[in-house]
Amino acid sequence: MPTIRQRCAARGYTCGTIRNVTCDRLFIAFWRFKLTTNLLSITTYTGIGGGESLQLNLMRALDRSRFQPYLLTPHDGAFPQAAAALGVSTHTLPYRGTTTLFVPQLWERTPIVGKLRQFLKVQSIHAVLTDYHSLPFIVPAAQALKIPVIWNAMGWWFPIYPWQRHFFEKQISKIIAITAAVKERLLGTPPKLPPNSMEVLIPGVDTDVHQPHFESTAVRDKLGITQDTPLVCMIARFQNVKGHEYFLEMAKHVLAQVPEARFAVAGENVFGVSKDEQYKQDILAMANSDALLRERVTYLGFWQDSREVIAAADVMVCSSWFESLSMVALESMAMARPIVSTRVGGPSETIIDGVTGYLVPPRNSRALAEKVVTLLCDPQLRQRVGTQAREHVVEHFSAARYAAAISEVVQQMLKKRR
**pLDDT tens per residue across span 83-93:** 999 999 999 99
Return the percentage of the chain with pLDDT > 70, whole number. 92
Domains of the chain by residue range: 36-204+399-417, 218-396
Q: Give the per-residue pLDDT at 260.
A: 98
> Which of 219, 329, 212 has its CA nearest to residue 264?
219
Q: Do domains 36-204+399-417 and 218-396 have the same CATH topology?
A: yes
pLDDT digit string, tens, across residues 355-407: 999 999 999 999 999 999 999 999 999 999 999 999 999 999 999 999 999 99
Average of pLDDT values for 247-266? 98
Pairing of strands 127-130, 89-92: unpaired
CA dihedral 321, 324, 327, 330 (to 10 degrees): 80
pTM of the model: 0.85
| In contact, 158 and 100? CB cutoff 8 Å | yes
Q: Fold for domain 218-396? A: Rossmann fold (3.40.50)
Of the candidate CATH numbers 3.40.640.10, 3.40.50.620, 3.40.50.2000, 3.30.1490.190, the domain formed by 36-204+399-417 belongs to: 3.40.50.2000
| In contact, 223 and 200? CB cutoff 8 Å | no
Average of pLDDT values for 94-116? 97
CA dihedral 285, 287, 290, 295 (to 10 degrees): -130
pLDDT digit string, tens, across residues 314-323: 999 999 999 9
